[in-house]
Amino acid sequence: MSLAGVAVSSGVAFGQAVHLIEQDCSVDFHLLPKSEIKPEKQRLTQAVKELISILETGQNGLEIDSENFQLIDADILLLQDEDLLNDMLIAIENQRFSASLAVDRIFDFQASEIEALNDPILASRAYDIRCLSNRLIASINGTLTWDLSHLRQASILFAKDITPAEFAMLPQQNISGIILETGGLTSHTAILARAAGIPALFNCSYQELSIRNGQTVILDAISGVLHAKPSQELQSALRLKQLNESERLQQLLTFKDKEAITQDGHKVALYANVGNLSEITRTTELGAQGVGLFRTEFMLMNATEYPNEQNQFLLYCDALHVLDGCPLTIRTLDIGADKDLPFEHHAHEENPALGIRGCRYTLAHPELLKPQLKAALRAANHGSIRLMFPMINQIEELDSILQEIEICKQELVSEEVGFGDFEIGLMIETPAAVMNINSLLPHLDFVSIGTNDLTQYTMAADRGNPQLTKAFPSLSPAILNLIKMTITAAKVFDVKVSLCGELASDKRAVAVLVGMGLEELSINLSSLLEIKSTICDGNYNNWQTLANSALKTSRVSELHELVCN
């Protein structure tokens, strides 16, 4: 029994299936029949007990004075609060509320009271209370999510979807593969799986196979196939495939200390895309020339509060130290759309990808932007920093950013704190940014093309929707032409141009991208050496000719045929 999907992170994985049940946090609004009152009260007390026991297990192994231990403790104390439990039981008895409605109302009241105090520190506690309320309702509905703290080694996770924030909380060392029903090739969860080197298959309707928890399955994310109940013969063949793949990766390590130079002597600078300090360490181990994209929001997906200026400064200094003279490109927080931070309450939006995202969000929240700018300015005294801004479409937004930088510099002067100079750049992620490029470039040192969003916004195709992945790939005539327009304009203004979308990590696209004149690529860590080896095997002269032909194609299929042959 096998099933195909979209392989978003390559590799072969053997393991036991673990289903991540989707939490059902829906509230039952029905008026409770009198006969149901007693059992409903029991459901509530039982659910409270179950959640307390799960939380207590979660504390095992944590230091008592650690922040996580204390946070879990606060939740346990709230659940043990007899007055609170009584209020909920009374609501069931007197108002004939369902248990879920009683929880929803009483916890909401608690959270609102805290919010009314208008204290930013307590605001995060109000958020925690709402999360706890959801977990308690899920427990009442019998769908409390799998407790991942007990995940056995070599587990293969099955879920409808995993958000980037949920991914950040996974015990990665015990996960050998991930299968999702949804998810696109350039979704942020796919990017995270690739960076972590975890084989992953998305857009896979695995329900058809009725796989049980604990069942042995094999994920072949090289060919994009999930195997349930594999025969002995198939198992041996896939073991061999896994072995060949690890030998291939081993071979690629020989490119670690080599420069990316084509056979006819054309040099390309390869940088890495990272999301935390340990990935920055791997950057140097893999021989990248620096960090071309530090997605700073990724490292906060698991955080309970926003790090202050000093903590961000120390982190950037650590990163510069690891990079030992190579540049660090810090992208300011790109939150919104599918990336929410646990400590930041983001108002509901009908179309979040078209809403308050990236710089739109940080410009509206100087309390988030300014500490990051000041930390980067201070770190620039200790190494080479490039600061990059996401989701800027027009000069007005860039004006506001430049103004904020000036304000931060003035504040540092009056605080008598030293700072250095950094390069300023923008992500090119929307067709508007390309059309407005001539007005933006005079103010910039560099631009970096973000093809994941550029494709999403040009094609009006949600990057997380697997049904659109095949028809609207980044490797398409429209996107190549937008890239070419950006390169041409940047050369006129003598501004450096890089490409940091996942297209740079696609070995089929390298010839065309380099042939079009890109001298810098920033790549997902798992693809870095493969791209380097492709460049070292290539011929720049031929690639220029290929790129000219590619830019003249009008169909995706025609383009793919051209670049794949």
Task: State the residues that interact with ligand PEP by CB under 6 A.
Answer: 191, 293, 295, 334, 429, 450-453, 500-501
- For ligand PEP, which is the closer residue by CB, 126 or 434? 434
Q: Which amino acid is it at 3?
A: L
Do residues 14 and 236 lie in contact, with contact meaning Cβ atoms separated by under 8 Å?
Answer: no
Residue nearer to Mg ion on the CB measure, 187 or 372 = 187
Are 19 and 162 a contacting pair, CB within 8 Å? no
Least distance from ligand PEP to the Cβ atom of residue 509, Å: 13
Q: How far is the CB of 455 from ligand PEP (least distance, A)?
A: 8
For the CB of residue 273, give the shortest distance to ligand PEP in the complex, in Å. 7
Q: 3-class DSSP state for residue 161?
A: coil
Question: Of the ranges 20-28, 109-117, 447-455, 469-477, which one interacts with Mg ion (CB under 5 A)?
Answer: 447-455
Closest CB to ligand PEP among residues 47, 523: 523
Q: Which stretch binds Mg ion (CB under 5 A): 23-31, 147-155, 296-304, 429-437?
A: 429-437
* From ligand PEP, Mg ion, none, interface partner of 295 (C-beta below 5 to 8 A by class): ligand PEP
**Phi/psi-derived region of residue 552, left when phi > 0, alpha when psi is between -120 and 50, beta in every other case:** alpha
Chain mean position to CA 413? 35
- Give the list of residues 6+ apart from residue 107 with CB closer than 8 angstroms, or none: 129, 130, 132, 133, 136
* Torsion-angle region of 183 (φ positive above 0: left; ψ -120 to 50: alpha; else: beta): left
296 or 312: CB nearest ligand PEP:
296
Q: In this chain, which of 450, 464, 466, 538 binds Mg ion, going by CB under 5 A? A: 450
The CA distance from 141 to 192, in Å, is 31
CB 543 within 8 A of CB 514: yes
Residue 29 CB, nearest distance to ligand PEP (Å)? 38
Residue nearest Mg ion, CB atom distance: 453
Q: Which amino acid is at 465?
A: N
E strand map for 373-445: 385-389, 423-428
Q: How far apart are CA 61 and CA 54, in angstroms?
A: 14
CB of 474 to Mg ion, least distance (A): 12
Is residue 564 among the annotated active site residues?
no
Of 204, 326, 359, 500, which one is the catalytic site residue? Answer: 500
Q: Is 500 a catalytic residue?
A: yes
Compare residues 75 and 334 and give the one whose CB is closer to ligand PEP: 334
| CA separation for the pair 455, 463 (Å, rounded) | 8
Q: Of ligand PEP, Mg ion, none, which one sits near residue 486, judging by CB under 5 to 8 A according to partner kind? A: none
Burial of 123 (0-12, 13-18, 19+ CB in 10 A): middle
Q: Is the dihedral of CA 116, 121, 124, 129 positive or negative?
A: negative
Contact partner at residue 124 from Mg ion, ligand PEP, none, CB < 5 to 8 Å by partner kind: none
Exposure string of 520-552, with b = 16+ CB inside 10 Å and e = fewer, is bbbbbbbbbbbbbbbbeebbbeebbebbeebbe
Residue with smaller CB distance to Mg ion, 5 or 450: 450
CA nearest 262: which of 474, 62, 542, 33?
542
What is the smallest separation between the CB atom of 26 and ligand PEP, expressed in angstroms?
A: 31
279 binding partner (options Mg ion, ligand PEP, none; Cβ < 5 to 8 Å by kind): none
Cβ-closest position to ligand PEP: 450
How many C-beta neighbours within 10 Å does residue 257 have? 8
The verdict on whether residue 429 carries a ligand-binding annotation is yes
Q: Which of 104, 309, 344, 453 binds Mg ion (CB under 5 A)?
A: 453
336 near Mg ion, judged by CB under 5 A = no
Q: What is the 3-state secondary structure (H, E, C) of 433-475?
A: HHHCHHHHHHHCCEEEECHHHHHHHHHCCCCCCHHHHCCCCCC
State which residue, 41 or 339, has the beta carbon closest to ligand PEP: 339
331 marked as part of a ligand binding site: yes
Which residues neighbour 417 within 8 Å (Cβ) at sequence distance 6 or greater? 378
Nearer to ligand PEP, 9 or 133 (CB): 9
Of these residues, 25, 188, 204, 359, which one is catalytic? 188
Centroid of chain to Cα 199: 16
Give me the DSSP letters along 207-219. GGG-PPTT-EEEE
Choose the one of Mg ion, ligand PEP, none that binds residue 520, judging by a C-beta under 5 to 8 angstroms depending on kind. none
d(C-alpha 25, C-alpha 44), whole Å: 14
Residue 524 tokens, joined: 């997902």
Contact segment (CB under 5 A) with Mg ion among 59-67, 248-256, 444-452, 554-562 equals 444-452
| Number of chain residues interacting with Mg ion (CB under 5 A) | 3
Nearer to ligand PEP, 220 or 334 (CB): 334
Q: Tell me the CB-side half-sphere exposure of residue 71, using CA atoms within 13 A.
A: 18
174 annotated ligand-binding residue: no
Choose among ligand PEP, Mg ion, none what residue 500 binds, the Cβ cut-off being 5 to 8 Å by kind. Answer: ligand PEP
The response to whether 93 counts as a known ligand-binding position is no
Binding segment (CB under 5 A) for Mg ion, from list 258-266, 277-285, 407-415, 428-436: 428-436
Alpha-carbon gap, residue 273 to 521, rounded angstroms: 10
- The verdict on 184 binding Mg ion (CB under 5 A) reads no
State in angstroms the smallest separation of the CB of 288 from ligand PEP: 16
Q: Is 452 annotated as a binding residue?
A: yes
Is 81 flagged in the annotation as binding?
no
Binding-site entries: 295, 331, 429, 452-453, 463
Which residues are tagged catalytic? 188, 500
Binding-site entries for Mg(2+): 429, 453
Binding-site entries for phosphoenolpyruvate: 295, 331, 452-453, 463
The contact set with Mg ion (CB under 5 A) reads 429, 450, 453
